[in-house]
Structure 1
Amino acid sequence: MTTATTATTATTAATPHAATGFAAGPEARPELAAHAVTTALARCGSGVAQSIILLLTPHFARTPQAAITAAARAGNCLQVFGGTTPGVFTEQAWTLDQPAAAALVLTGDMTLAPPDSELPLLSLAMPDALDSAWLGAGQPRFGALATGDDHHAIGAVWDHAKWQLEGRSEACLAGGEFELAVSRGMQAISDVLEVTAADGYELQSLGDEASLPTLLACLPEELRSPANLPLGLLFAAVIDDEIGLDRAVAEGRYGLVPVLAANAGDGSLTLGAALDSGTRLFWALRHPGSAEAELRGGIDLLQEQRDALSMQAANRMPEFALLFSCIGRGPYFYGGDDHDLAVLTRRYPGLPVLGGYCGGEIAPLTGGNAILSYSAVAALAYAHVQSQS
């Protein structure tokens, strides 16, 4: 679904230095990328971009260079960074089912720059280009996997206006800083449980009980039947031995294994992966209200922390935001409207937001950078505060 074929926005009515553009059409043509950039530049009142972040749907993935070049020419800019995601959006428009381009242009002092050893890195990578050394680099990473969709098997990434065949791109923000908020979108509905018996993907028992009753006991009465389980929303959340439930939830440090089926005959559960005896987990439920509230709390906390830093930082709006949201957590999860996006636009009216609906989100957790699922990763970009003397 697409709500509009073109859209732009800006931070303020007076000479903004960041704006978004969106364009969609029946064919994956380079003109879509060019149009997204030119409309965003027009909103900035400029003909030249310092940097462009360009997200394309997978319809462009096999030969993305023509669209990348069109965006570079439209912005008179050689710093075009981006990749493909199954869906793309701005604060005013989105699509998950047709060729589209979404662009953010920067025309002021904030620009994309080569990676810095300390600053958070905007990172896009194709799944087969991931490796532990890259993901585990010392600095925090945020972004998305550049993937295809149900109809397009491959993805692509680009930087410096060139298709990066190695499958990875990264950049930091010069002249400003990113502040990150991550929402895993899960509600813990049980205490920590230990696997005591399993056979492949069949989880047989937790502690002294069969696994199915431990899950049913956590659910509302109307769902306490194997036939009524909300499959697709239930997960075994696996945690490390050294951390407890509260810390695991607060820091997002858990792996998710979906519940695929309930077996009333023997009280077992079929999971999406095999778990060994001794594994510690809690039952988790995907819940729209919890997911939205978690992201809102993270955004509010970022603002509170900035307000406490200095008078110059207090009450300053971000210049723009990037939002990478799981494809399973976008408008369809929330019944037609993207509540994660609304968290940003209601908190900061007029904020330019560029985002992708992704097949995997990259985010820094307490234990290091990780590839997440069912999550939303928001990056708010603030201009550096000039000291007053």
Structure 2
Amino acid sequence: MHQVHRSIRGRGRASMSRRPPQCTSELCVLILLVLGIIFQAQAKSSNRSRTPAPPALIVFGDSVVDPGNNNAIVTMAKCNHPPYGKDFVGHQATGRFSNGKIPSDMIASKLGIKQYVPAYLGTKLSTEDLLTGVSFASGGCGYDPLTSELVQAISMSDQLKLFKEYKNKLKEIAGETKTNSIISRSMYMVITGTDDLANTYFTTPFRRAEYDLPSYIKFVVESASSFLQELYHLGARKIIVAGISPIGCLPSQRTLAGGIERECVTLYNQAAVVYNSELSKEVQRLNDTLAGSRTVFVDMYTSLLDMIQNPNNYGFTEIARGCCGTGIFEVTLTCNRFTAPACEDVSKHIFWDTYHPTERAYEILIRKLMKQYKSFLN
């Protein structure tokens, strides 16, 4: 035992004899200065790589991003009734044209702004709602003014008027300086154009009497350009402009023009490709001519067509019918509690009704687009 104690005491003395030298005041100051410089450099590098989220997401367009504005107007394009919203929070039919969330909700969430983008009309908006963005979109509208007239939707020009009203409300609650900052730093999202071709040009004779297809596409793109320029002059700088989907493969268009087999309508898809190409070129031209403009054309066509052509890759089994009712003609008012969802598993369907994708299809689409356009969105 005595030997053990002596051994332990011996190790203790040896350990104490190897104690590192105490830090002198000059040495400590030098170490702290060096560490401070390193930490500051790391912090600056981290701040440079982390781009702050835009303060708000402000949305214009049609039913793809209408969260309920049409609830507040007299129009045929309404979906504030079951089974719409059956997979939304509280199974509530908010006026979103889907079974759940829509692209504007998903993008706002992924950008870290908020979970849902509310409708500007027909809802009681809080101060926080206004500060973080709203949607002016109206189901059934298009760049062509006639498109909105056909279903009494809010036209794109009227959506800009609502935006001006919104800016005044912002000034009342935040002051002019902060409002100008919010408007200039926010992300803007514009999704429309599908109804111009599907519902105005191909389905009704009004425009075909005035324009051949190439001329009509040119007219719609010019109308889109006018809208984007006015939005820019109202303060928008960072704008997402979405192209249109493969409209010939929408269940409604398959029923109307796809023959007895309800095939995708080749002419309609070709028209969408030409339209998207011309709109993309115009967006680039505006970027080159409008100082400080950061506008990006987002190709929705390719990703959605891939989902339709290769459904097994995404876990879908039904591509040609909507989930609601028979899936052949039901949309808006005809998709109701009497027709109701006939599909057993909505997650297997790309389309909710004959015109609009399911929440799951939107989620896949937005995830792909967020990855594809990551440099713009960050």
Q: Which has the higher helix share?
A: 2
Q: Do they fold alike, i.e. is TM over 0.5?
A: no
What TM-score results when the alignment is normalised by the length of structure 1? 0.28
What TM-score results when the alignment is normalised by the length of structure 2? 0.29
Between Structure 1 and Structure 2, whose CA radius of gyration is higher?
A: 2
Q: Which has the higher strand share?
A: 1
